[in-house]
Structure 1
């Protein structure tokens, strides 16, 4: 059995953010995951000397763990400081010709790469070409790495089963925004759409949950039900299943495959989103959700169209959401594909 070394931030153990996916990879490896190295100390070290000391500590730990493992797994950053960190942390493994698998979670890697000066592009290519393989979160992103010689594999993310036993009915259309409070994710347009709907006497309610970013709770206004940061699975499941529509009018530059969209399908909640990148393939209009533009009028019109559907039509769409999740986006399916891919790379 191939023994694996996983190089990740401590969030992979805590299962927060995109580290949730890394945590699922660790679970998929099971006993084959011989060691996990947390790289957070390099981020938190202040001053050059402390950073050098932290890096030397990581190198020593990596060299020791790498000597007992045959392959390594690490996420690939889509920022220049992150690439520098990737390169420095993995350097002992690269120099020892260790088999390395990189996993890109970003939808903005191509734009990031194209915006780099020539010498930085060389560093990125050098790092990626040292890897045995690169994993992307969906086939849509394969062409983002056409500049690299490394073989690119697509493994679609999965999420937990968030279905609730019963879905309470409501005369209102219950809208949910679940994610960091980022303008590029379409939150200002959603707030404007909500105001238009309320002004037109539509029976609608908007709940927002997520960590403050370039917007905060004060930007939401008094009419919005703000729930703060939601991490616990049961709380998230309750929030999604209590909603009629997950609204994601995103154009966020790093958006790849939003886990919240998969979680909504798992809960049987349709998704109203922009046809942005891979979302255009995840969400099929009239089947498991609808597309809209990232503007208030388009969002409001889509909500009104949903409101006009019969209970039977809404129930059929919710059933489609569950069917799509069970067929394509379960954690079990993701982990099985990861195990098969990693086994094939080390055979």
Structure 2
């Protein structure tokens, strides 16, 4: 297997683990690994995570101990590589880890490519004391290239010196485990329920409770036959302000399903993958992600939906307007507005011609911007290409 000791690229980031929580940064890092493997480029890998995500954004002693181990592994592999590709974090612990990798790379004269997933870095930076903000600026300034997911996510790094020269916009692409195989746009169901799909971590600020409330409205106000599939892991975050654990949040969700009489239309699948994930995408008529999650970036789950020709209902938040164009391949709603979600769903369900056009546009938008081939070419060009 090609490796960084031959002068290749040292890829540093969070690996996916089937036994633990799926996150956008983990999926994105696997994309980068796939790009180098499929193009036969020399590389070696350092995994920055160990275990699952129990409480996103929080400090963990276990995580701190693991960080010391990965720094040692990184330093052993750094000597032979030409370029370091590092997925950076948006937390204090993440920055300490990243700085411990960036500065040795700089001292050894390596090309440094930083990859930022999500849209919370500006918030993290602004909350730090002045002396730490100065250190963050100086550390990120050591990068040769800084990659972000979309044009709308550039401004969170405006504080970095010479950012306009360093920044590269590299949108996400379709994951390896999905093969849409669609032959054309979707059609509305003939006499069958209109199927809604939520596929993301079950974090309250991502809007899953808003969608659940919308299901109640669709049944009681619009009398619309629906089915709604929820997929993901219940996670407690450091930013939602809730005291509920993941287990407690799950119990509350199921209690609401029973209390609102939705047990015959709502199904919770947990974390899905493989054939089940593909089938849910194929069978869905609308993908719904009414997120206001503080660290949201350019959700890969929306790209997956577009690849299957599924119109998307989402908030115009962070990088989402580069994926969803209101009235073209989906519809926008305000955060915390289940009534709007229900209204958009009812509108889709009652307009067969309009729905088919939205689906066709979803396929076209995906093909132009988010295919795996386009993504791989952009990643490799940013990591290995000439600067300027």
Give yes or no for the alignment of 1:288 onto 2:321: no
> How far off its partner does 1:273 sit?
0.7
Q: What SS class does the counterpart of residue 135 from structure 1 fall into?
A: strand
Cα distance in 2 for partners of 1:333, 1:102 equals 19
2:11 corresponding residue in structure 1:
6
Cα distance in 1 for partners of 2:345, 2:64 equals 51
Cα distance in 2 for partners of 1:273, 1:64 equals 44
1:197 corresponding residue in structure 2:
218
> How far off its partner does 1:53 sit?
9.0
Q: What SS class does the counterpart of residue 97 from structure 2 fall into?
A: helix
Q: What SS class does the counterpart of residue 227 from structure 1 fall into?
A: strand
1:303 corresponding residue in structure 2:
345
> How far off its partner does 1:94 sit?
2.9
List per-residue Cα deviations over 1:195-239 (Å, max 9, x = no partner): 11111222122111110124315414232211111133x322211
Compare 248-257 and 159-168 and name the one that shifted more.
159-168
Cα distance in 1 for partners of 2:66, 2:196 equals 49
Cα distance in 2 for partners of 1:52, 1:109 equals 24
Compare 62-71 and 127-136 and name the one that shifted more.
62-71
Q: What SS class does the counterpart of residue 277 from structure 1 fall into?
A: coil
| Structure 1 unaligned spans of 5+ | none
1:34 corresponding residue in structure 2:
43
Cα distance in 1 for partners of 2:106, 2:81 equals 13
Cα distance in 2 for partners of 1:213, 1:47 equals 19
Higher relative contact order (CA closer than 8 Å, sequence separation 6+): 2
RMSD over aligned CA atoms reads: 2.9
Compare 180-189 and 33-42 and name the one that shifted more.
33-42
Cα distance in 1 for partners of 2:300, 2:66 equals 36
Question: Given that residues 102 and 142 in structure 2 are in contact (C-alpha distance below 8 angstroms), is that contact kept between their aligned partners in structure 1?
Answer: no
Instruction: Determine which of 236, 239, 261 is the counterpart of 2:302.
Output: 261
Instruction: Determine which of 132, 146, 154 is the counterpart of 2:158.
Output: 146
In 2 relative to 1, CA 217–148 (structure 1 residues): closer, same or farther, beyond 3 Å? same
Q: What SS class does the counterpart of residue 230 from structure 2 fall into?
A: strand
List per-residue Cα deviations over 1:151-185 (Å, max 9, x = no partner): 11111111145425586935321111111111111
Question: Given that residues 62 and 92 in structure 1 are in contact (C-alpha distance below 8 angstroms), is that contact kept between their aligned partners in structure 2?
Answer: no
- Per the normalisation by structure 1, the TM-score is 0.89
Cα distance in 1 for partners of 2:269, 2:52 equals 30
Cα distance in 2 for partners of 1:211, 1:293 equals 24
In 2 relative to 1, CA 2–12 (structure 1 residues): closer, same or farther, beyond 3 Å? farther
Give yes or no for the alignment of 1:175 onto 2:196: yes
2:273 corresponding residue in structure 1:
231
Instruction: Decide which structure has greater helix share.
Output: 1
List per-residue Cα deviations over 1:270-321 (Å, max 9, x = no partner): 00111112212321222211111221211111111111102x3322221111
Cα distance in 2 for partners of 1:321, 1:110 equals 30
> How far off its partner does 1:60 sit?
4.2
Compare 161-170 and 93-102 and name the one that shifted more.
161-170
- Per the normalisation by structure 2, the TM-score is 0.80
1:76 corresponding residue in structure 2:
88
Cα distance in 1 for partners of 2:251, 2:179 equals 26
| Structure 2 unaligned spans of 5+ | 1-5, 54-59, 237-248
Instruction: Determine which of 158, 164, 170 is the counterpart of 1:155.
Output: 170
Question: Given that residues 36 and 43 in structure 2 are in contact (C-alpha distance below 8 angstroms), is that contact kept between their aligned partners in structure 1?
Answer: no
Cα distance in 2 for partners of 1:299, 1:133 equals 39
> How far off its partner does 1:17 sit?
2.5
Instruction: Give the length in aligned residue pairs.
Output: 343
Q: What SS class does the counterpart of residue 207 from structure 1 fall into?
A: strand
Question: Given that residues 59 and 92 in structure 1 are in contact (C-alpha distance below 8 angstroms), is that contact kept between their aligned partners in structure 2?
Answer: no
